[in-house]
Amino acid sequence: MTDSKAVPTPRRREKQQRTGLFTFYRQVVAELRKVVWPTQQQLSTYFVVVIAFVVVMMAIVSALDLGFGKLMFWAFGGRD
């Protein structure tokens, strides 16, 4: 009876040649040409959304820090 969950033995990998620097550069440029770059308006919108999100998260973390700090001072009788 064979176990269907058995791990097969690893196969030997054939040694591959490394690409040259020029080939690598050409491939990078080719990939960057495929990228859909955002317009100025989209970039501005994304910037505002990210900044607003970061400000909201900072406010939440600050409020939690203040609340837990007050709670700890109250629980352990520290100065307020």
User: Does some domain include residue 54?
Assistant: yes
Q: How far apart are CA 72 and CA 34, in angstroms?
A: 54
Structure tokens at 11: 């196969």
Q: Compare 16 and 59 and report the one with higher pLDDT.
A: 59
User: Tell me, what's the pLDDT at 79?
Assistant: 65
Considering its fold, how many domains does the chain have in total? 1
Q: How far apart are CA 60 and CA 58, in angstroms?
A: 5
User: Does some domain include residue 29?
Assistant: no
User: Does some domain include residue 57?
Assistant: yes
Given a contact cutoff of 8 angstroms between Cβ atoms, the answer to whether 40 and 46 are in contact is no
11 has pLDDT over 90: no
pLDDT tens digits for range 17-66: 888 899 999 999 999 999 999 999 999 999 999 999 999 999 999 999 99
Q: How far apart are CA 74 and CA 19, in angstroms?
A: 64
User: Tell me, what's the pLDDT at 17?
Assistant: 81
Nearest residue to 47 (alpha-carbon basis) of 58, 39, 57 = 39
- Domain of residue 70 covers 37-80
User: Tell me, what's the pLDDT at 43?
Assistant: 97
**Full-model pTM:** 0.56
